[in-house]
């Protein structure tokens, strides 16, 4: 949850900035090393990614309000 909050505030990696991120899958691990290893493997697992894509497509769409820019 910390990483998701950082991504949504714009404090994460450059590739995560400028988007509203939503949690699709969560697992708990006793160490950060194990969690990062699992994440690395999941990102390379085509079957798992296909399941997540299907989950996204069937999920109800949420509308995000756009912020007005000061002129």
Residue 32 vs residue 4, higher pLDDT: 32
Question: What pLDDT was estimated at residue 37?
Answer: 93
User: How many structural domains comprise the chain?
Assistant: 1
> Is the pLDDT confidence value at 64 over 70?
no
Interatomic CA distance for residues 35 and 30, integer angstroms: 8
The answer to the question of residue 24 being in a domain is no
Boundaries of domain holding 38: 31-59
Residue 11 lies in a domain: no
Span 10-47, pLDDT tens digits: 776 776 677 777 777 888 999 999 999 988 898 899 99
The answer to whether position 36 is within a domain reads: yes
Position 12 in a domain: no
* Per-residue pLDDT, 34: 94
At 10 the pLDDT is 75
* Segments of 1-71 assigned E as strands: none
53 found inside a domain: yes
* Closest CA relative to residue 58, chosen from 33, 19, 24, 27: 24
Within a domain: 3: no
């Amino acid at each position: 949850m910390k990483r998701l909050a950082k991504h949504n505030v714009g404090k994460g990696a450059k590739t995560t900035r400028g988007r509203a991120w939503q949690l699709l899958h969560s697992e708990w691990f006793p160490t950060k090393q194990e969690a990062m290893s699992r994440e690395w493997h999941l990102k390379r697992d085509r079957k798992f990614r296909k399941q997540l894509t299907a989950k996204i497509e069937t999920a109800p769409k949420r509308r995000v309000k756009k912020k007005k820019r000061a002129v």
